[in-house]
Amino acid sequence: MDQKEQDDVLALLQGKEKGDEEEEVLPVPTTVPMSKGTREKAHTICQIVKKVAGDSHEWFSFLLASKADPLFIARDLLIVKGTKAERGHVVVEGEHVAKASAEVQELNALLGTDFYIIGWLHSHGGGPVGHSFFDDGNFVQVLNSVRLNTEQAVPTRLDLIESRITKHVEDGKIILTGQDVEDAVIRYVLPKEEAFQALLIKYGIEKGKRIAVEREAFLADVLELVQLETAEPKIVGFGYSVVVNDRGEEPYALVGVVEEKVITGKGTVKKYAYKTNVEPREVEKDVTADPQTLEAMVRERIQFPPPTKSTIVVLSSRKRRRRGHGRWFGRWLGDSESYKNGVMSPEDIEAHTHSNSSAPSGGTTTTQTRQKRSQDILFLNEIACIFAYHAAAYLTAFESPAVRYSEYLDRVFEMLDQTHSKGLMETIAHVGELYSDEAGVFVPRFEPYKLKRIQDNITDRLAGDPKHPEIRFMLAFIHGDKNAALEQYIPILYKLGRDKEVEPLARIPPPEGKGK
């Protein structure tokens, strides 16, 4: 037997035979099974929230499953009392999950049910379904708790010796070791000679005679024929995230998974998610979506932000129109006429940057450095202000067929208004990929009185490099076709913004039918 054959035989002790590995199957659903009543309830609440608030808002709830159900079907949703609806994005805190858990316990005691929280469901209002960075952060908050409701131990292969295995006999033991210092040492204590002979006789080997067999060599050969597999428990828990909207689009669904290896990964938790679909299920005693009952529940449990300054809404042939934009916008325009006629070109920016970067031959004093920094801030602020002016004009003309992305840009501005010091690029990453307007459903939230705060939040993180895509985007939007600028630069800024952020929940491909 050559060295390779010996290695292959010895590898059996560690379960390393090639082509003989079993693929690990986790006890995690491949889809999000949801009762038809729960899904209908979610869509009905979307319309009620829009009716009560007078506008599209985001809201969130917790999905409930039964402890007796091995299929982990989401059978109802719970809105915690005091939940806040938002025009931009919702925020789930740990206290929300704790309050929901307490309410579920009360519900179980009252109705004799055995519900537990298995995930969350939220609405994107009038926007498209999907998962933003904000949603990922909320989902992680939910997962930290609900994984404890679904966790199971999964035996996971544990290679005690990862390098080439060698064996030797020492002090009455057969010892297996590897070549690396990290490898384990496996010791098999040899039986006494009398016990060894009794074992041979028991199985009819030269019965009645003392067997002249070398004990160590014989047992070592037996071990080579026995495949030894070692495993450690891996604790696996999961939860659901479902996104709906006012349009009644097919829900967006994620299954989030949390893993922790008990031996090799103690204290190190792995979190990831995969995109899947909501699978409608027929269940006994399904929930109903009675509009009157749900409206009373929404009014009791959800807190809405105060209305915006313009509240009169009329219908148009293409989109819903909020009256009052022209009046507010015209008032703001009067203060910004100088910016309208003083738009800088890319060449102006290059010249400005070059002139500011050229230091006097005698060196740069502290005063000159401060002056340059002040000039740069004013310069960036002017670009942001001009861009804000043109974006405001674009949003005000949202009814025009030539304006294709007003709803997306409106959502970016709404989030910039709510999120201090986030920056344009990072906000685009949170809003998501570019999408076009849908006729008849868009109600703009933009109000020109917000522009100063939006402008400041753009300037706060604006890169000074004139070649940066963020500045190039604003210049292209100012000087050229605005739809084309959005189509060209939003994908670039979205990717750059995503790359800058720390991914709160890694994505993996779906398990393709494996699991529950």
Per-residue model confidence as pLDDT tens digits over 404-440:
888 888 888 888 877 655 788 888 887 888 888 875 5
User: Beta partners for 260?
Assistant: 235
Contact 239, 143 (CB under 8 A): yes
pTM of model > 0.75: no
Of residues 36, 47, 34, the one with CA closest to residue 294:
47
Q: Which residues are within 8 A (CB) of 86 and not within 5 positions of it... i.e. 6 or more apart? A: 57, 58, 305, 418
User: Which has more confidence, 375 or 217?
Assistant: 217
346's enclosing H/E stretch is: helix 346-357
- The overall average pLDDT reported for the chain is 77
Q: How far apart (Å, rounded) are the C-alpha atoms in residues 251 and 245?
A: 8
* Tens digit of each residue's pLDDT (9 = 90 or more) over 263-275: 887 778 889 999 9
- Through-space distance between the first and last CA atoms of the chain, rounded to whole angstroms: 45
Burial degree of 121 (CB within 10 A; 0-12, 13-18, 19+): buried
- For 171-300, list the strands marked E by DSSP: 173-177, 186-189, 231-244, 252-261, 270-276, 278-281
Q: How far apart (Å, rounded) are the C-alpha atoms in residues 238 and 396?
A: 45
- Which DSSP category does 12 fall into? G
Instruction: Give the β-pairing of 231-244 and 115-123.
Output: parallel
- Which DSSP category does 506 fall into? E
What's phi and psi for 388, nearest 5 deg? -60, -40
DSSP assignments along 27-87, one per residue: S--SSEEEEHHHHHHHHHHHHHHHHHHTS--B-EEEEEEETT-TT--B-EEEPPTTEEPBS
pLDDT for 361 equals 47
Flag whether pLDDT at 104 surpasses 90.
yes
